A = this chain, B = another copy of it.
Amino acid sequence: MAKGLDTKTTILEIALEQVRKFGFESLSIGELAKLVGMSKSGLFSHFKSKELLQVTILDYAAENFILKVIKPGLKLERGLPRLEGIVQNWLKWSSSHKHGGCPMTAASVEFDDRPGIVRDATKKHLTALVNSITRSITLAVEEGHFKADTDCNKVAFELYSNILGLHLYQRLLSIDDSKKMFEQSVAELFNRQKA
Contact = CB atoms under 8 A, between A and B. Distances in A.
Interface residues of A, number: 48
Contact of A172 (B122, B169, B171): B122
Contact of A161 (B20, B112, B162): B162
A166 to B, nearest CB: 8
Interface in A1-49: 20-23, 25-26
Interface in A23-79: 23, 25-26
A165 interface: yes
A195 B101 CA distance: 39
Contact of A21 (B23, B114, B169): B114
A167 to B, nearest CB: 8
Given A105-B109, A111-B172, 17 more contacts: A21-B113, A23-B23, A99-B113, A108-B168, A108-B172, A112-B171, A122-B172, A123-B173, A126-B168, A127-B173, A130-B175, A154-B184, A154-B185, A161-B161, A161-B163, A161-B166, A164-B165
Interface of A: 20-23, 25-26, 99-101, 105-106, 108-114, 119, 122-123, 126-127, 130, 153-154, 157-158, 160-166, 168-169, 171-175, 177-178, 181-182, 184-185
23 contacts: A21-B114, A22-B114, A23-B25, A25-B25, A99-B113, A101-B109, A101-B113, A106-B109, A110-B110, A112-B171, A123-B172, A123-B174, A130-B173, A130-B175, A153-B177, A153-B181, A157-B185, A158-B165, A158-B185, A160-B165, A160-B168, A164-B164, A164-B165
